[in-house]
Amino acid sequence: MTENLTWTDLDRRAVDIARVLAADAVEKVGNGHPGTAISVAPIAYLLYQKVMKLDPTDPAWIGRDRFVLSIGHSSLTQYIQLYLAGYGLELDDLASFRTWGSRTPGHPEAGHTAGVECTTGPLGAGVANAVGFAMAARRERHLYDPANLGESVFDRQIYCLAGDGDMQEGVSGEACSLAGTQELGNLTLIYDDNHISIEGDTKIAFTEDVDARYRAYGWHVQRVDFTDGGAYEEKVAELYAAIAAARQVTDRPSYIRVRTIIGWPLPNKAGHHSVHGSKIGAEEVAALKTRLGLDPAKSFDVPAEVIAHTRGNAALRAERARADWDARFAAWAQGNPAGKALLDRVQAGLTAPGLAQALPHFPPDKKVSTRVASGQVLSAIAEVVPELWGGSADLAGSNNTTMAGQPSFLPADRVSSDWPGGPDGRVLHFGIREHAMGAILNAIALSGLTRAYGGTFLVFADYMRNPPRVAALTGAPAIYVWTHDSIGVGEDGPTHQPVEQIASLRLIPGLDVIRPADANEVAACWAEILRIQDRPQALILSRQDLTVFDRSPGSGFASADQVVRGAYTLREASAKPRLVVVATGSEVEIAVQAQTTLEAEGVPTRVVSAPCLEWFAAQPAAYKDQILPTDAAKVSIEAGVTYGWAEIVSSQGRRIGVDHFGASAAAGRLFVEYGITAEQVVAEAKIALAELEL
């Protein structure tokens, strides 16, 4: 940014063109959200054309600032600016808004439209994403350029445009509270306060002092009011000055509240909730164009001098920014060969060298919960995978998400005796904010230069349901660690015992749900999780200790390396199997116990460990038929609802699970009471064998 704003007649004309393009696009398709896109056009234009450091020819440029449109329903706000700046969108793309095959879907989608940083739409989530991008920028700077005390090529600003709905959703409050604690001085949130939501004036449900809330969060707070001068005035210069002031505040995030009127300058409908989510109507659109001095008979009409001005300006600003940044990047690369090698590897999506050797091996001489095993794996690989960082939603000791000896990611004035660290740390503390944690992880994943994980109890995955869904939609490789995975939680009772969560998570397309059976499976699963770069992973871990299987040669147990197949023969039958028992997690050892009994009774029984049904589904048909032969009876066992298991064991197979809520009692008692036992497996196996022979 320069100190003084240049705002010419062509800039004003471009803003008016942005308004009518929003109206035209919604009018053509017959649906959409035109009102906000019309009234915030000068705000968005100011950011794209005067403030942010961007390169339309290289949307993935590391040195770019990040823009998050949290009011995702107003997607035209962003699409029009991408068109004006030259990101590859053209008028035909705006005219095909919200239609099949278009590059302009109803809400912005990362990976679908060049220049869109993250998928937004669920309100409040974009605000939390912006916090994640700001945290990622700080971590990346300290990871790749740790010795630099001045400006780094990895520094960047994060800008988020939010609305009244975003301010009401709880996830934005969770994330912004954490942002204040983290003192994220590279984050600026612009709140479009237009007092309108779908049901009308927000006074019917939303009357709090939002400015005071953000002050309480520890943010730098400013206000720009377009309505306080008698006549409505878009105070672009004042907003520009507020953004410049925010840039100077480096010890806390900045919040700028901009009071607007939705749909201004529509002649008759400005300020009315009808323009929020419906087309405006041909008569009102024509009146808007007339008021702005445009031809009311023309649609998608952009004067050549306007598009030449906006694209030329964006290109010139990018050229100047790149010339400076490219020179500094070259100097950084020359002076930091280790950092450059790490950056090249991470950008190429390559697994860290030495990872396989760093993974711990767990001997079969004692039982270990998979949550404890996971913590030991993380500690063991910390040094060889420096791009990995993460933590917990205030459950570090229970989730085992802390890499031993690693510092916490905290401002210097936030560290404690329990959690030493600083801005360059890598142990994350999300507080009791599961939903925000998930959205922050998604943004860190999309930032692309690190891998991050976050943990909580599996039952609280319901508090953060939207992030894994959006990560799967986006292909963001976020890592969710969910422990205390079943009725094995025990005495805490049904409120803390997940029974339906695993099955419900498996319903999310593109989310890998991983439930390892023992400590060595945990290690192998972590290696595969880190290899996968194109989708999110959910690691489901036990509270209770589990048997570590003896996988040495001649033991009869297969190597844990086979977890990459999703399901594999853990222990083979004594002959051609008449029965296959398929289990996950803590129930695999029960399957092994049942196998011993069945084999003693003359039933050749195979035990299949199935840590990830999604990985298994991706295997060739021949492999799946080999593991689950059609001529063998089948039984599944998992301490959760049995929904979905018929697809694995067939409708003739028997499914052992917990199709009801749990109770408060010792875990061992609950497993017995609910039939999650080897004896029950044997009984169900005999039924399955009898039915197969009918």
165-174 pLDDT, tens per residue?
Answer: 999 999 999 9
pLDDT confidence of 693, banded at 50, 70, 90? confident
Q: How confident is the model at residue 365, as a pLDDT? A: 84
277 and 376 in a common domain: no
pLDDT confidence of 124, banded at 50, 70, 90? very high
> Is residue 275 a part of any domain in this protein?
yes
Q: How confident is the model at residue 4, as a pLDDT? A: 87
534 and 426 in a common domain: yes
Alpha-carbon span 397 to 456, nearest angstrom = 11
245-255 pLDDT, tens per residue?
Answer: 999 999 999 99
Give the β-pairing of 187-193 and 158-163.
parallel
373 and 274 in a common domain: no
DSSP letter at 368 equals B
Does the annotation count 434 as an active-site position?
A: yes
307 and 393 in a common domain: no
658-676 pLDDT, tens per residue?
Answer: 999 999 999 999 999 999 9
Q: Does residue 2 carry a pLDDT above 80?
A: no
316 and 254 in a common domain: yes
Q: Does residue 540 carry a pLDDT above 70?
A: yes
pLDDT confidence of 651, banded at 50, 70, 90? confident
Q: How confident is the model at residue 694, as a pLDDT? A: 66
98-111 pLDDT, tens per residue?
Answer: 999 999 999 999 99
Please give the helix or strand (H or E) that residue 200 lies within, else none: strand 200-201
Q: Are 563 and 524 in contact (CB under 8 A)?
A: yes
105 and 191 in a common domain: yes
CATH classification at residue 285: 3.40.50.970
Into how many domains does the chain fold? 3
Q: Are 537 and 529 in contact (CB under 8 A)?
A: yes
Report the mean per-residue pLDDT for the chain: 97
527 and 451 in a common domain: yes
557-587 pLDDT, tens per residue?
Answer: 999 999 999 999 999 999 999 999 999 999 9
Please give the helix or strand (H or E) that residue 409 lies within, else none: strand 408-409
181-235 pLDDT, tens per residue?
Answer: 999 999 999 999 999 999 999 999 999 999 999 999 999 999 999 999 889 999 9
Q: Which of 434, 587, 589, 684 is catalytic?
A: 434
> Is residue 366 a part of any domain in this protein?
yes
**Percent of the chain at pLDDT above 70?**
100
| Enclosing domain of residue 608 | 565-693
> Is residue 339 a part of any domain in this protein?
no
pLDDT confidence of 3, banded at 50, 70, 90? confident
213 and 118 in a common domain: yes
Provide the residue type at 308 as one letter: A
Largest Cα–Cα separation, the chain: 91
229 and 112 in a common domain: yes
Instruction: Dump the DSSP string for 537-555.
Output: EEEE--SS-B-----STTS
418-440 pLDDT, tens per residue?
Answer: 999 999 999 999 999 999 999 99
pTM of the model: 0.98
Q: Mean pLDDT throughout 491-519?
A: 98
150 and 283 in a common domain: yes
Question: What residues contact 621, with CB distance under 8 A and at least 6 apart?
Answer: none
